[in-house]
Amino acid sequence: MAFKSTLALAGAFASTALAHGTVTGFVTDGTYNQGFLLDYYYQKANSGSFPDIAAWYAENLDNGFVAPDAYGTADINCHKNAQNAALTSSVAAGGTVDFQWSTWPHGIGPVLTYVAACNGECSSVDKTTLKWVKIDESGYDTSTSTWAAQALIDNNNTWTTTVPSTLAAGNYVFRHEIIALHGAGSANGAQNYPQCFNIAITGSGTDSPSGTLGTELYSADDAGILFNPYGTITSYTIPGPALYGSGSGSGSGSSPTTTAASTTKAATTSAPAVTQEASTSSAATPATTSAAPSEGEDDSDDDSCEAEETTTAAATFVPTTLVTRTSTAQASTAPTSGSSTGVALYGQCGGTGYTGSTTCSAGTCTVMNSYYSQCI
């Protein structure tokens, strides 16, 4: 077993290193509720169970996010292999929910919150039938040049959503999400981090808006998904259906479409999706070599995400909980595309913990922040 343990430890370290994308606690009208901890994944693997909580279970362990090529799968609902939370917390219509993220490293991207009525017990509802109503969204503030994700970081890694006072009382799954866009200038480069919670809404509201199936929320080539965030941003279109109460259909879905085989298409149609100026090479960048290895293969998606999970990961890892999960996590440590010819345009070329090539085959390696440099 010693041999196995060594392997398992390596795998566990690698996977835990990617554990930054979780809401570790949430507060409903001032009451603290336990969020899902990665430790629970290991507890479940080792003992078969973990504490009953009101946050959904998810295996966001390997590369930690849902990529655009998985928008058509059930994982887009509540993250990878999500399973219903056993308990339900509650909030009054008109009240607030604070979502407390583990230390969040990605300051580029929108923050969104959805609810879906369970029409029964949320502990047993089929996630693929949930219809999401967007109740809160925040993208890019051009007046302050600030992304919602950065505002979240600046607010103690916490986001507060106000529950619309008009929503009918009942059991809901709340779906809170950050979409990280630091690599979204390339096809399949956006990173969705959804997290789900069972929360009953109380009060006297009567509105039961229709929603949008998870698999119809986003498309890989949405203007707010395939988006180069570098350079001067003049506008940003938050993806997903209309915001509830915005007067344009109360959450009835407006952007179905599919996701399959979108990589090539997305690349060739990137020009209209990018609404920004100044970046000389931003328009119509035909699928650079970085796009190719990303296609249909999750492991390469996380390259740009992997640099920042450094010391926090080691600090929170509990080495006694060993699990043999290996290949995905280990594969994710492989350097980015083109180590021989250099990193393609928009690829990562540096940052804390980054081990890939620092030479750009196109563009110049530019420091975006301490944990992410990019060829632009």
Ligand X SMILES: *[C@@H]1O[C@H](CO)[C@@H](O)[C@H](O)[C@H]1NC(C)=O
Q: What is the length of the chain? A: 376
Nearest residue (CB) to ligand X, 100 versus 330:
100
In the complex, the smallest distance separating the C-beta of residue 297 from ligand X, rounded to whole angstroms, is: 33
Question: In this complex, which beta carbon is closest to ligand X, that of residue 62 or of residue 308?
Answer: 308
* Residue with smaller CB distance to ligand X, 55 or 116: 55
Q: Of the two residues 158 and 208, which places its CB atom closer to ligand X in the complex?
A: 158
Q: How far is the CB of 248 from ligand X (least distance, A)?
A: 35
* Among 152-160, 193-201, 289-297, 357-365, the segment contacting ligand X (CB under 6 A): 152-160
Stretch touching ligand X by CB under 6 A, among 140-148, 150-158, 206-214, 352-360:
150-158
Task: Supply the minimum distance, in Å, between the C-beta of residue 33 and ligand X.
Answer: 12
Touching ligand X, residues 1-30 (CB under 6 A): 24-25
Instruction: Note whether 156 binds ligand X by CB under 6 A.
Output: yes
DSSP output for 11-54: HHHHHHTTTT--EEEEEETTEEEE---HHHHHHHHHHS-----S
Q: Write out the binding residues for ligand X, residues 303-362 only, by CB under 6 A.
A: none
| Interacting residues of 295 by C-beta distance below 8 A, sequence separation 6+ | 69, 188, 263
Contact 335, 300 (CB under 8 A): no
Of 99 and 227, CB closest to ligand X: 99
Q: How far is CA 351 from the centre of its chain?
A: 20
Kindly tell me which of 23 and 201 has the beta carbon lying closer to ligand X: 23
Strand 191-202 versus strand 89-92 pairing type: parallel
- For residue 250, give every residue at least 6 positions away whose Cβ sits within 8 Å of its Cβ, in sequence order, or none: 133, 207, 209, 210, 242, 244
Least separation in angstroms between residue 24's CB and ligand X is: 6
Of the chain, the end-to-end C-alpha distance in Å amounts to 48
Measured CA to CA, the distance from residue 4 to residue 35 in angstroms comes to: 31
Report 89-118 residues binding ligand X (CB under 6 A): 100
User: Which residues would be at the binding site for ligand X (CB under 6 A)?
Assistant: 24-25, 100, 156-158
